[in-house]
Chain A
Amino acid sequence: MEKILEKKRVDDWVAALTGYEVHAPALEEGIWGYQPINGPIRLDHTNTKQPPKEFAFPQREVFFSFEQIKGEAPRLKQVMPSGPRHAVFGVRPCDGRGVPRMDKVFNDHAQDAYYNARRKNVAYVGLACNKPPSANCFCLSVGGSPVSTDGLDVQLTDLGDRYFVKAITEAGKDLMTAAGKLFADPSAADQKQLKQVHAAAVAHPQRAVNNPDQAPAKLKASFKSPLWDELAQACIGCGICTFLCPTCHCFDINDEVQGKAPLNGQRVRTWDNCQFPDFTMHSSGHNPREGTGARLRQRVCHKFQYFYENFGMHQCIGCGRCITECPVGIDIIHVVNKVVENAG
């Protein structure tokens, strides 16, 4: 389904989505973030500071609550996510490509009921990048594109005073038919302009990972390279690069106790981070990834080797957040290029 929507009618479209909770990028404290929308929406954002992964994989997920009176068996109460359907507007194509990657992680080997319950309840309305929203964008070199529709349900392309609106999935069609009258059929001129805009978007220069196809093998051969320690020398071991990554999925599971008599609380999942020093530390104190070099290697190899070996695609989608936000300049493009180049 391909349609044209005048920009001034976008708010009418949102208003027509009565069965949905609509989220779109908004500015707070100088930061673009997805927020529930109750008024006009604006889609002039660069890219959001945090990716839209929180809609299916929130930072905190309650698995179940438990209550135990001393001497009795505990009572467990499963807490499954529920609520209205979400429509998330303004998702950039790179972040869209993060979605199928997360789908793989949470459904390979065993299905994650919490992720899937949220995932089936959200539709992503993407916005093609007519020009790179960040100086550190590198989607083209990791198999993506500023006009990619992968993982999206609807794709919007900015044609000046109107959007070219394309349904990608059935869920996307539903979003459009909910406000069918607002949309017009595209003319031949619209189609032509779309092609031009997309061609220009793809032609826009970007930073690049030089040999993404060679990366898995070269990284594998570089496991013991001294470069890892060198490149990670400045690393401070914080969680910025992974918490802001659209495809980082590592998590921790903890019991949060509310009361002791009777014992009650929740078992919760929270985001965790392979750059924290205690992430892999055994109870014995032994740590298989003791230094920042080993931990940087884990992050980079997960993105460009392990995931590729397991699923046949790079996990990194080239949004550049980890590069822009790193307080000490650790640059995944530079790291991959340097290690790959050094592997000969």
Chain B
Amino acid sequence: MINLKDIRETARDMLAKGEARAVIGYRRGSRGMLAEPAFLTKPEEADELVWDPTCFHNLSLYLVHDRKHLAHAGKNSGGAPVAIIAKGCDARSIVVLMQEHYFKREDVYIIGVSCEGTGVVDERKLATHLNGVQASNAAFDGDDFVFTTAEGEKRIPAREVMADRCLECRSPYPKEHNLVFGEDKTGRQLEAPFAALDRFEAQGAGERWENWARHFDRCIRCFACRSVCPMCYCDECVVDSITFPVTTETTADEKASRIRWIERSAARSENITYLMTRAMHLAGRCTDCGECDRACPVNVPIRLLNNKMEKEAREQFGFEPGASIGGPSLVASFLDKDPGEFIR
């Protein structure tokens, strides 16, 4: 069981001593029980930090934002590291970012938090469970989540309202860390790995297509999946420019010859090309934090695409995303025994 006081103390201490130039963590937002990302720079702000089952955000995204801001300001380094609260999946994302040389190990101070026996809540499952009752607070309690509502305290077994990715998670413990809170329950398994994927894959090709066609049709191309993903850090996406890809130095030739792979219309064909290409670009990099899935306003099960890649990588190539900083990348490495029977 994690004591929130310890996390706050650590943050306060680091900021006071100048050991971190910022602490990225969670605080209570202005809308109901939900936590939101917090960016602390002063020791006295440390008491804002929270740790509860609504801390779903993968904050490593903000390490990416930080690097982009530094680069935009023409700086290579911000001096002291940024300290960040990271769950198991988040810490693996940080490892992938370092594996890809996005920043160095010394640029970040990982304050790991173990999800122990549970994980984060799935808002959709919870809404169904609470059936219209609004919760104002959420807390961990062993294998349960405890919600404060107008109708009093509601104790719900965590596994009934947990996100699928947490149920299937085998490593809820941030292996890569500078400091860690909570018990290491690596290997704990509430549901089989890839259980949701397996359920979907059990359908025939025709049924899978029918389902995906509906999902792809619903996509409104708000790009929340891309925007919320720490791995989608490219300055220029196949879909469009996203950050500062055109500078005053970009030549007219470069701009004019930029290929428009996908039209802006949210039509099925374009949505497929976008989502499928994104899944490919995340193969071996996605650490299943599930943020794309959570952020999607129209419930496209984006996580399944990424999961499919993760499962193939694991079963065929023995590859685990975010396992080690010095490890190879999935698509820039190979083994002699890679499957080749499909090739004529």
Q: A residues bordering B, Cβ < 8 Å? A: 28-31, 49-50, 59-60, 135-136, 233-234, 236-240, 243-244, 252, 254, 256, 268, 270, 273, 276-278, 281, 283-287, 290, 323-325, 327-329, 331, 333-334
Q: Are B31 and A238 in contact (CB under 8 A)?
A: no
Q: Are A59 and B299 in contact (CB under 8 A)?
A: no
Please name all residues of chain A whose beta carbon is closer than 8 Å to the beta carbon of B37 when the two chains form the complex: 233-234, 328-329
Tell me which of A50, A135, A238, A254 contacts B227 (CB under 8 A). Answer: A238
Tell me which of A28, A252, A323 contacts B31 (CB under 8 A). Answer: A323
Please name all residues of chain B whose beta carbon is closer than 8 Å to the beta carbon of A31 when the two chains form the complex: 218, 298-299
Bound Cα distance A211, B242 (Å): 35
Please name all residues of chain A whose beta carbon is closer than 8 Å to the beta carbon of B166 when the two chains form the complex: none
Tell me which of A256, A327, A329 contacts B224 (CB under 8 A). Answer: A327
Minimum C-beta distance from A342 to chain B (A): 15
Q: Is B222 an interface residue (CB 8 A)?
A: yes
- On whether A329 and B36 interact (CB within 8 A), knowing A238-B295, A268-B265, the answer reads yes
Q: Are B266 and A285 in contact (CB under 8 A)?
A: no
Q: Are B224 and A240 in contact (CB under 8 A)?
A: yes
Q: Are A236 and B265 in contact (CB under 8 A)?
A: no
Tell me which of B31, B215, B221, B222 contacts A331 (CB under 8 A). Answer: B31
Q: Are B57 and A328 in contact (CB under 8 A)?
A: yes
Q: Is B203 an interface residue (CB 8 A)?
A: no
Bound Cα distance A243, B296 (Å): 12
Q: Are B299 and A29 in contact (CB under 8 A)?
A: yes
Q: Is B201 an interface residue (CB 8 A)?
A: no
Q: Is B194 an interface residue (CB 8 A)?
A: no
Q: Are A286 and B32 in contact (CB under 8 A)?
A: no
Q: Are B250 and A285 in contact (CB under 8 A)?
A: yes
Bound Cα distance A237, B124 (Å): 23
Q: Are A60 and B266 in contact (CB under 8 A)?
A: yes
25 A-B residue pairings within 8 Å (CB atoms): A28-B214, A29-B214, A29-B298, A49-B297, A50-B220, A60-B266, A135-B31, A135-B32, A234-B62, A236-B61, A238-B222, A238-B223, A238-B226, A239-B220, A239-B223, A240-B224, A240-B297, A268-B263, A270-B264, A270-B265, A276-B240, A283-B246, A327-B224, A329-B35, A329-B36
Bound Cα distance A233, B227 (Å): 14
The 9 closest A-B pairs by CB, nearest first: A329-B36, A239-B222, A238-B224, A327-B295, A329-B29, A238-B227, A334-B30, A236-B227, A285-B246
Q: B residues bordering A, Cβ < 8 Å? A: 29-32, 34-37, 39, 57, 61-62, 124, 128, 134, 214-215, 218, 220-224, 226-228, 240-244, 246-250, 255, 263-267, 291, 294-295, 297-299
- On whether A234 and B267 interact (CB within 8 A), knowing A278-B240, A327-B228, the answer reads no
Q: Are B134 and A135 in contact (CB under 8 A)?
A: yes
Please name all residues of chain B whose beta carbon is closer than 8 Å to the beta carbon of A328 when the two chains form the complex: 36-37, 57, 228
Q: Are B298 and A324 in contact (CB under 8 A)?
A: no
Tell me which of A234, A252, A286 contacts B36 (CB under 8 A). Answer: A234
Please name all residues of chain B whose beta carbon is closer than 8 Å to the beta carbon of A234 when the two chains form the complex: 36-37, 39, 62
- On whether A270 and B299 interact (CB within 8 A), knowing A135-B32, A243-B222, A328-B37, the answer reads no
Minimum C-beta distance from B149 to chain A (A): 11
Q: Are A237 and B242 in contact (CB under 8 A)?
A: yes
CB-nearest residue of chain B relative to A251? B264
- On whether A273 and B222 interact (CB within 8 A), knowing A136-B31, A252-B264, A284-B248, the answer reads yes
- On whether A324 and B224 interact (CB within 8 A), knowing A277-B243, A285-B247, the answer reads no
CB-nearest residue of chain B relative to A237? B227
Q: Are B222 and A240 in contact (CB under 8 A)?
A: yes
Please name all residues of chain B whose beta carbon is closer than 8 Å to the beta carbon of A240 when the two chains form the complex: 222, 224, 295, 297
CB-nearest residue of chain B relative to A133? B132
Minimum C-beta distance from A61 to chain B (A): 10
Bound Cα distance A270, B265 (Å): 6
Bound Cα distance A177, B246 (Å): 58
Bound Cα distance A237, B295 (Å): 12
Please name all residues of chain B whose beta carbon is closer than 8 Å to the beta carbon of A270 when the two chains form the complex: 264-266
Bound Cα distance A116, B128 (Å): 40
Please name all residues of chain B whose beta carbon is closer than 8 Å to the beta carbon of A233 when the two chains form the complex: 37, 39
Bound Cα distance A273, B297 (Å): 15
Bound Cα distance A323, B31 (Å): 8
Tell me which of B62, B247, B266, B297 contacts A59 (CB under 8 A). Answer: B266
Bound Cα distance A243, B295 (Å): 14
CB-nearest residue of chain B relative to A254? B264
Please name all residues of chain A whose beta carbon is closer than 8 Å to the beta carbon of B267 when the two chains form the complex: 60
Please name all residues of chain B whose beta carbon is closer than 8 Å to the beta carbon of A281 when the two chains form the complex: 241, 246
Q: Are B241 and A278 in contact (CB under 8 A)?
A: yes
Please name all residues of chain A whose beta carbon is closer than 8 Å to the beta carbon of B299 when the two chains form the complex: 29-31
Q: Are A236 and B243 in contact (CB under 8 A)?
A: no
Bound Cα distance A311, B224 (Å): 31
CB-nearest residue of chain A relative to B256? A283
Please name all residues of chain A whose beta carbon is closer than 8 Å to the beta carbon of B221 when the two chains form the complex: 239
Q: Are B30 and A331 in contact (CB under 8 A)?
A: yes
Minimum C-beta distance from A259 to chain B (A): 14
Bound Cα distance A305, B213 (Å): 41
17 other A-B residue contacts (CB within 8 Å) besides A281-B241, A334-B30? A30-B299, A49-B298, A59-B266, A233-B37, A236-B224, A236-B228, A238-B223, A254-B263, A277-B241, A277-B242, A277-B244, A285-B246, A285-B248, A285-B250, A287-B244, A327-B295, A329-B35
Bound Cα distance A29, B242 (Å): 29
Tell me which of A28, A244, A278 contacts B242 (CB under 8 A). Answer: A278
Please name all residues of chain A whose beta carbon is closer than 8 Å to the beta carbon of B134 when the two chains form the complex: 135
CB-nearest residue of chain B relative to A337? B30
Bound Cα distance A244, B242 (Å): 20
Minimum C-beta distance from A29 to chain B (A): 5
Bound Cα distance A49, B214 (Å): 16
CB-nearest residue of chain B relative to A241? B222
- On whether A327 and B220 interact (CB within 8 A), knowing A238-B228, A252-B264, A278-B241, the answer reads no
- On whether A283 and B30 interact (CB within 8 A), knowing A60-B265, A252-B264, A270-B264, the answer reads no
Minimum C-beta distance from A184 to chain B (A): 31
